[in-house]
Amino acid sequence: LRKSGVRKEAPTAEAGNGGCRCPPSSGGSRLPPSGSAPPQVCGVALVAIGIYAQVALDKALVASTASAAGTPVAILVLGIIIFFISFFGCCGAWKESYCMVTTFAVLLSIIFLVEVAAAIAGYVFKDKVRSVLEDRLWDAMNKYGEDKVLTERVDELQRRFFCCGANNYTDWSSIERFRVNNTVPQSCCRVNSTSSPLCPQGCLQSIEAWMKEKILIVAPVALGIAFFEILGIVFACCLMKGIRSGYEVM
């Protein structure tokens, strides 16, 4: 009889300590990476929004207040935190570390909840923002001519928004140096105007309209960031499930 040419298959597992151990695979497939790339995009977007908000509020004479100045800084810090958390998630996906991916998902979920809470608080206290803005404008007007920096910023504000005073040009009559001569700052005057030489609208209304216009731009970006964060959390949970299943098989 001729010996059969059938080759014996190599064992796929080794017995040891009452269990089986999977052999290393040279061409095996790894678990798919988690959705940490979208949160990285969110981090970069938040950093960009924070820088933009800081520059814009500074031009609008609002950034000198503690509450207004803290908002862009908080956005910047949040963006940087999300950016580094995303790298943490990438590392966990690459190493297939259940602990790291879980931490990534938990931290991203906490940040998402904080952002939702901040959005709700911003809507609830929107009237407080108007009050703070009005106080800041009156403070700058009272120091007009005494503080060189504030004087230049008030002039720049009135020229940029084509406004005069906090509510209207009559507000300047409450300031001693302008009440005596019944005058207003030169920045209140409209250049080459054939009708009224003074800007009739107050700066408070102009800044509010400007802020509403910017919110219409920022709101879709914020919704996009929230979507990508949710996507990152879902992908991380899927990866956690995949890693957990792999551990159970082994």
Measure the CA–CA gap between 92 and 88, rounded to whole angstroms.
Answer: 6
Say whether both 195 and 223 belong to one domain.
Answer: no
In angstroms, the Cα distances linking 77 to 89, 111, 140 are: 18, 12, 29
Measure the CA–CA gap between 28 and 136, rounded to whole angstroms.
Answer: 64
Say whether both 91 and 124 belong to one domain.
Answer: yes
8 in a structural domain:
no
Q: What is the pTM of this model?
A: 0.61
CATH number, domain of 163, equals: 1.10.1450.10
Per-residue pLDDT of 126-181, as tens digits, reads 777 788 888 888 988 998 988 888 888 889 888 888 899 999 889 999 888 888 88
Say whether both 75 and 112 belong to one domain.
Answer: yes
Measure the CA–CA gap between 117 and 126, rounded to whole angstroms.
Answer: 14
Mean pLDDT, residues 23-51 taken together = 54
Number of domains in the chain: 2
Say whether both 124 and 245 belong to one domain.
Answer: yes
142 in a structural domain:
yes
Domain that holds residue 189: 130-205
Residue 165 — φ and ψ, nearest 5°? Answer: 75, 180
